[in-house]
Amino acid sequence: MTTPASKENIFTRASLDISYQLLRKKEPQLALTIRNILFMQPVEKTADQADNKNTDSFVVEFDTYSVRNIVETLMEVLKESSETHTNDNTSLFRPVLIQSIINEWTVLAKFMFDQYQKNNSEND
Protein backbone atom coordinates (compact mmCIF):
# COMPACT_ATOMS: atom_id res chain seq x y z
CA MET A 1 0.00 0.00 0.00
CA THR A 2 1.48 3.34 -0.97
CA THR A 3 0.37 6.56 0.59
CA PRO A 4 -0.73 9.76 -1.13
CA ALA A 5 1.61 12.74 -0.82
CA SER A 6 1.07 14.49 2.49
CA LYS A 7 3.23 16.12 5.12
CA GLU A 8 3.63 12.78 6.91
CA ASN A 9 5.41 11.13 3.99
CA ILE A 10 7.63 14.03 2.99
CA PHE A 11 11.14 13.62 4.37
CA THR A 12 14.09 15.97 4.16
CA ARG A 13 17.30 15.07 2.38
CA ALA A 14 19.07 14.95 5.76
CA SER A 15 16.51 12.58 7.30
CA LEU A 16 16.74 10.19 4.36
CA ASP A 17 20.52 10.32 4.29
CA ILE A 18 20.77 9.64 8.02
CA SER A 19 18.23 6.82 7.69
CA TYR A 20 20.38 5.32 4.94
CA GLN A 21 23.53 5.58 7.07
CA LEU A 22 21.84 3.96 10.07
CA LEU A 23 20.21 1.12 8.12
CA ARG A 24 22.88 0.16 5.62
CA LYS A 25 24.69 -2.45 7.73
CA LYS A 26 21.57 -4.23 9.03
CA GLU A 27 19.19 -3.77 6.08
CA PRO A 28 21.32 -2.97 3.01
CA GLN A 29 18.55 -3.41 0.42
CA LEU A 30 16.14 -1.20 2.32
CA ALA A 31 18.89 1.35 2.91
CA LEU A 32 19.66 1.42 -0.81
CA THR A 33 15.99 1.98 -1.60
CA ILE A 34 16.00 4.96 0.76
CA ARG A 35 19.20 6.30 -0.77
CA ASN A 36 17.73 6.03 -4.26
CA ILE A 37 14.92 8.37 -3.23
CA LEU A 38 17.58 11.09 -2.97
CA PHE A 39 18.11 10.83 -6.74
CA MET A 40 14.44 11.42 -7.49
CA GLN A 41 12.77 14.76 -8.15
CA PRO A 42 12.42 16.69 -4.87
CA VAL A 43 9.17 18.28 -3.76
CA GLU A 44 8.74 21.73 -5.25
CA LYS A 45 9.99 24.46 -2.95
CA THR A 46 8.08 27.52 -1.94
CA ALA A 47 9.34 30.98 -2.87
CA ASP A 48 10.79 31.60 0.60
CA GLN A 49 12.89 28.42 0.65
CA ALA A 50 16.55 28.57 -0.31
CA ASP A 51 17.51 27.11 -3.66
CA ASN A 52 19.91 24.66 -2.10
CA LYS A 53 19.95 20.88 -2.43
CA ASN A 54 20.33 20.60 1.36
CA THR A 55 16.82 22.03 1.74
CA ASP A 56 15.29 19.42 -0.58
CA SER A 57 12.41 17.24 0.58
CA PHE A 58 11.15 14.05 -1.02
CA VAL A 59 7.92 12.08 -1.09
CA VAL A 60 8.48 8.67 0.47
CA GLU A 61 6.30 5.82 -0.77
CA PHE A 62 6.76 2.53 1.03
CA ASP A 63 4.42 -0.26 1.94
CA THR A 64 3.50 -0.72 5.58
CA TYR A 65 5.79 -3.73 5.99
CA SER A 66 8.82 -1.71 4.86
CA VAL A 67 8.02 1.19 7.19
CA ARG A 68 7.61 -1.25 10.07
CA ASN A 69 10.93 -2.85 9.17
CA ILE A 70 12.62 0.56 9.07
CA VAL A 71 11.27 1.51 12.51
CA GLU A 72 12.18 -1.84 14.07
CA THR A 73 15.70 -1.78 12.65
CA LEU A 74 16.27 1.80 13.76
CA MET A 75 15.11 0.81 17.25
CA GLU A 76 17.73 -1.95 17.25
CA VAL A 77 20.38 0.56 16.17
CA LEU A 78 19.25 2.93 18.94
CA LYS A 79 19.48 0.18 21.53
CA GLU A 80 22.97 -0.81 20.38
CA SER A 81 24.06 2.83 20.28
CA SER A 82 22.79 3.45 23.80
CA GLU A 83 24.57 0.37 25.12
CA THR A 84 27.90 1.13 23.49
CA HIS A 85 28.17 4.91 23.72
CA THR A 86 31.30 6.54 25.05
CA ASN A 87 31.54 9.89 26.74
CA ASP A 88 32.61 11.92 23.73
CA ASN A 89 30.25 14.60 22.46
CA THR A 90 29.47 12.81 19.19
CA SER A 91 28.22 9.60 20.75
CA LEU A 92 26.23 11.43 23.43
CA PHE A 93 24.02 13.01 20.76
CA ARG A 94 23.79 9.92 18.55
CA PRO A 95 20.86 8.36 20.46
CA VAL A 96 19.00 11.68 20.27
CA LEU A 97 19.54 11.82 16.51
CA ILE A 98 18.45 8.21 16.05
CA GLN A 99 15.32 8.78 18.17
CA SER A 100 14.45 11.81 16.06
CA ILE A 101 14.67 9.74 12.87
CA ILE A 102 12.59 6.96 14.47
CA ASN A 103 9.95 9.54 15.36
CA GLU A 104 9.71 10.69 11.73
CA TRP A 105 9.23 7.15 10.47
CA THR A 106 6.73 6.44 13.26
CA VAL A 107 4.64 9.44 12.19
CA LEU A 108 4.52 7.94 8.70
CA ALA A 109 3.57 4.51 10.09
CA LYS A 110 0.74 6.02 12.15
CA PHE A 111 -0.49 8.00 9.15
CA MET A 112 -0.52 4.84 7.03
CA PHE A 113 -2.43 2.96 9.73
CA ASP A 114 -4.97 5.78 10.02
CA GLN A 115 -5.40 5.80 6.23
CA TYR A 116 -5.94 2.03 6.28
CA GLN A 117 -8.59 2.32 9.00
CA LYS A 118 -10.29 5.19 7.17
CA ASN A 119 -10.41 3.23 3.91
CA ASN A 120 -11.78 0.14 5.66
CA SER A 121 -14.48 2.11 7.51
CA GLU A 122 -15.61 3.66 4.21
CA ASN A 123 -15.98 0.19 2.70
CA ASP A 124 -18.20 -1.07 5.53
Q: What pLDDT does 5 receive?
A: 63
Check: CB of residue 9 under 8 Å from CB of residue 37: no
Q: How is the chain split into domains, by residue range?
A: 7-43+55-63+72-119
pTM: 0.84
**Per-10-residue mean pLDDT for the chain, 124 residues long?**
67 96 97 96 79 86 95 95 69 87 96 85 69
DSSP at 10 = E
Judged on CB neighbours under 10 Å (0-12, 13-18, 19+), 95 is: middle
Q: Cα(110)–Cα(40) distance, rounded to whole angstroms?
A: 25
One-letter amino acid for residue 21 of the chain: Q
